[in-house]
Structure 1
Amino acid sequence: MNRRVLILGMGGHFGSVAARAFRAAGWNVDRYHRGTDMTVAARGVRWIINAMNPPNYHDWEHQIPEITTKVLAAARDSGASVMIPANVYVYGREPGPWRASTAHHPCTRKGRIRAEMEERYRDLASEGRSVVMLRAGDFVNPESPTTLLNRIVLKDLRKGRITAMGKPEARRTYADIGDLTQVAVALADSADSLPGLLDLGYPGTRFSFRELADELAGQLGRKITIKRFPWTALLLASPVWELARELREMRYLYDMDHAIDGTDFKALFPDFEPKTVQRLVFEHLYMRGMKVVPDQGVKMSTQTSL
């Protein structure tokens, strides 16, 4: 059976880890190079993994539709199935837990762009193509300094504080990229056996900034305080810091409790357990070279497996 994938955005958060995961599982991995003919690159592949996004959300309004057009053309030409790491922007302020049947009511420009993108992939699925949307919350990866968790929230951890980007008590869902890409590999083995759309929510790990601070304090054996992210200052920073301007649009997501319903995921992967907040904290501290108080009372495995 064909075990060849084309990964778009292999230099990004999801794409780089997905490439390692697919190779480790015995797949042949092709890297798409921006500016080349995607239709040609996709010929002979079984899956197109579209993890391509403009850096720092740059020019989403134009680039996301352009990328989508190229992916759709490549899928139709090659007959390849398509997998997209989808986000939660499309739901806006809809009450959760969010699931495949939750209405899309985006309340931001980026949410609208993603919702329009997803509709085009739904049209592809309606033609009898296999399309998987693997939907998750914010990515976390202890090895990547550019995730928001590392770049902003844990930036001042050595000074004994974290930065809350919203209400400290709001519980949000996060996806460890190592876990999520294992799920992507498992889906690639069989999700194209039936045509149509699979909109699969990944429940991930859910915690608040307060719970994060408490877990950090327990593992470090010291007090960890919480400071609030200076959203007001972004009004001044936005002309020169593109990421700041783009983040401000998504502020609402940091102030609201949210969760992804895991019922469909559990039906497909009944034995899979996402990493706990304890494990995520341990891995982030380890990568930062910060000593953890011994004998935390629980042995933590080094990885999750399907």
Structure 2
Amino acid sequence: MFHYRLCGLSFSAVVPLPGATALDDAPGTPDVLLQRRAVPHRLESPLGHGPGWEMDGNRLLLTLPDSGRFMASDGRTLDIDPAADIDDIMPFVLGTGIGALLYQRGGMVLHGATVEVDGGGITLCGFGGTGKSTLAAALCRSGCRLVGDDLAALSLGAPGEGPLVQPDGQHLKLYDTTIARLGMTAQSGPAVRRGLSKHYVTAPAAVSAPVPLKAVYVLHDSPRGKATSFDRLPPLVAAQALLNQSYRRRLALTTARLDSRSAALRDAVLRRVPLFRLSRPRDLDRLDEVAGAVLAHVRGLEERALS
């Protein structure tokens, strides 16, 4: 068995988990058991469904044509039933599968990359292909530490404290062009998925413990020639943005309909954490400029809070 920590949970797995933080010792009772076993083609009484997936009260079944199926159950087990090469299904297991487990545990997950700045986490949200990982990599190269690349797993802190972001491994997932532009070729590892020019890249530094969430930035492209700008979202817009930026939004909505435990966490984020629209040029040649603007903005928030 292989043993890992991922998104605040301990895993015992029958296969390696690329990008996850390996544990030196086996956990006494792991939070999640990942095993290879037969998975049913359908659920008997699904209560929700989406493209390739269906869900009942405590299980999510995902079917991937030509790759296989997996099922996340009770927030505690992940059963994998690959059709051929197990590597073809693992990116989905480590994405949608982990997200489903966190939702089944009453958690909240944003689709974002998170870095630690001066002791707190900032999450960069956006739909697929908006450059979350690229900007996170530039921030890491500027001295930040990686918290997580694709899933921002949130949890409630101690009474009186704000929400926390759980660490999600030590690797970024970057395209070859970005790796070359950032000078991170030496840190580049195996491909994320066969036939995809995206690789696991070891971050310069990463956290191993949860960090308080200090801000969420929703990425948007700015018009050509415009400077990076930050606009704080008013409460109702921020609430909608949190919903829109949930990891696998439709899956999150279905889970929330069946299980209300995440409501308190969502309310805590809206009360304690500012959300901003971050408009910046999508230009690799201006990436360091954008990273510098983000750092200045985050530190300005801290200065205004202390004044």
**Taking structure 2 as the reference length, what is the TM-score of the superposition?**
0.26
User: Whose helix fraction is larger, Structure 1's or Structure 2's?
Assistant: 1
User: Whose strand fraction is larger, Structure 1's or Structure 2's?
Assistant: 2
**Taking structure 1 as the reference length, what is the TM-score of the superposition?**
0.26
